[in-house]
Chains A and B, each alone.
Chain A
Amino acid sequence: MTSILKTENVHLYYGEKEALHGFDIEFEQNEITALIGPSGCGKSTFLRCLNRMNDLRNNTTVTGSFKIGDRDIYAPTTDMTELRKEIGMVFQQPNPFPFSVYDNVAYGLRIAGVKDKKVLDEVVEKSLKQAAVWDEVKDDLNKNALSFSGGQQQRICIARVLAVKPKIILMDEPTSALDPISSAKIEDTLLELKKDFTIIIVTHNMQQASRIADKTAFMLNGDLIEYNKTSKMFLNPDKQQTSDYLNGEFG
Chain B
Amino acid sequence: MEINKKILMPSKETRQERFGRTLSFISISAIVVLVALILYFIISKGISTFTDNHVNLWDFISRQDWSPSTIGKDGKPEVGALPMIVTSFSVTFLSALLATPFAIAAGIYMTVIGPKKSRGFLQTVIELLVGIPSVVYGFIGLTIIVPIVRTLFGGTGFGILSATLVLFVMVLPTITSLTVDSLNAVPKHLSEASLALGATRWQTIYKVILRSATPGILTAIIFGMARAFGEALAVQMVIGNAILMPKNLITPSSTLTSQLTTGIGNTVMGTLGNNALWSLALVLLLMSLFFNILVKLIGKRGKF
Per the bound structure, the CA–CA distance linking A157 and B194 in Å amounts to 11
Instruction: Point out the residues of chain A lying under 8 angstroms from B190, CB to CB.
Output: 95, 97-98
Question: How many residues of chain B have a CB within 8 Å of chain A?
Answer: 18
Query: Which of A81, A83, A93, A161 makes the CB contact (< 8 A) with B199?
Result: A81
Per the bound structure, the CA–CA distance linking A161 and B196 in Å amounts to 9
A9-42 contacts to B (CB < 8 Å):
none
B195 near A: Cβ within 8 Å? yes
The stretch from A105-113, A197-205, A227-235 touching chain B is A105-113
Check A107–B197 contact: CB distance below 8 A.
Answer: yes
Q: Secondary structure at chain A's binding surface: helix, strand, loop or mixed?
A: helix
Check A95–B198 contact: CB distance below 8 A.
Answer: no
Per the bound structure, the CA–CA distance linking A146 and B302 in Å amounts to 12
Check A51–B196 contact: CB distance below 8 A.
Answer: yes
Per the bound structure, the CA–CA distance linking A174 and B83 in Å amounts to 62
B177-201 contacts to A (CB < 8 Å):
187, 189-190, 192-200
Check A85–B193 contact: CB distance below 8 A.
Answer: no
Check A89–B196 contact: CB distance below 8 A.
Answer: yes
B241, chain A: closest CB distance, angstroms:
47
B66, chain A: closest CB distance, angstroms:
48
Check B200–A81 contact: CB distance below 8 A.
Answer: yes
Check A107–B194 contact: CB distance below 8 A.
Answer: yes
Q: Which residue in chain A gives the minimum CB-CB distance to B212?
A: A98
Query: Which of A88, A97, A108, A164 makes the CB contact (< 8 A) with B212?
Result: A97
Check B211–A88 contact: CB distance below 8 A.
Answer: no
Given that A99-B211, A111-B207, A146-B304 are contacting pairs, would A84 and B189 also be in contact in the complex, using a CB cutoff of 8 Å? no
Instruction: Point out the residues of chain A lying under 8 angstroms from B192, CB to CB.
Output: 53, 56, 91, 95
Instruction: Point out the residues of chain B lying under 8 angstroms from A161, CB to CB.
Output: 196-197
Instruction: Point out the residues of chain B lying under 8 angstroms from A53, CB to CB.
Output: 192, 195-196
Check B189–A91 contact: CB distance below 8 A.
Answer: yes
Given that A93-B189, A111-B207 are contacting pairs, would A81 and B198 also be in contact in the complex, using a CB cutoff of 8 Å? yes
Q: Secondary structure at chain B's binding surface: helix, strand, loop or mixed?
A: helix
**Size band of the A side of the interface?**
20 to 34
B292 near A: Cβ within 8 Å? no
Given that A95-B190, A97-B208 are contacting pairs, would A108 and B198 also be in contact in the complex, using a CB cutoff of 8 Å? yes
Q: Which residue in chain A gives the minimum CB-CB distance to B186?
A: A98
Check B208–A85 contact: CB distance below 8 A.
Answer: no
- Interface digits, A85-105 against B, CB 8 Å rule (1 contact, 0 not)? 100110101011111000000
Instruction: Point out the residues of chain A lying under 8 angstroms from B69, CB to CB.
Output: none
Instruction: Point out the residues of chain B lying under 8 angstroms from A179, CB to CB.
Output: none
Per the bound structure, the CA–CA distance linking A95 and B187 in Å amounts to 9
Determine which residue in A51, A85, A88, A95 has the highest number of CB atoms from chain B within 10 A of its CB, and name it.
Answer: A95
| 23 cross-chain CB contacts under 8 A | A53-B196, A56-B192, A81-B198, A83-B198, A84-B195, A93-B189, A97-B193, A97-B211, A97-B212, A98-B190, A98-B212, A98-B304, A107-B197, A108-B199, A111-B194, A111-B199, A111-B200, A111-B207, A112-B198, A157-B193, A160-B193, A161-B197, A164-B197
A-B complex: 5 closest residue pairs judged by Cβ atoms: A85-B198, A89-B196, A84-B198, A95-B189, A108-B197
Q: Contacts A97-B190, A99-B211 given; 8 further ones with Cβ under 8 A? A: A56-B195, A83-B198, A88-B196, A108-B197, A108-B198, A111-B198, A111-B200, A111-B203
